[in-house]
Amino acid sequence: MADELADAGIDVQLLSINKISAETGVSSFSSDMVLPMVQDTTDLGLWTEWEADWRDVYIVDEDNVHVATYNLTGNSLAVTENYEELKSMFITEASD
């Protein structure tokens, strides 16, 4: 999706945030994925502050203000409609 958006001239940046206590999977995640990853810490408190759920996608505006959340567990991107819905959310936010 990131490549499709970039090819369409849509400037979005994707990254992942790993939950505290899930550090053991970082090495396999890092070798299989191309997204930059931030490791949450008690000092950062990202999961708590954002009330995150596993596999949430947070869309933020250019000021890093949260504007939408899309959960991939309940909305598999293997389903075309879900993929297109999330892609549309990125496009909408990028054009605002």
Q: What is the pTM of this model?
A: 0.79
Domain ranges of the chain: 2-95
Name the 3-class secondary structure at 36.
Answer: coil
Query: Which pLDDT score is estimated for 77?
Result: 95
Q: Which whole-number Å values give the CA distances from 33 to 7, 15, 28, 51, in the listed order?
A: 20, 10, 8, 24
Q: Confidence class of residue 14 from pLDDT cuts 50, 70 and 90?
A: confident
Average pLDDT over residues 7-16: 86
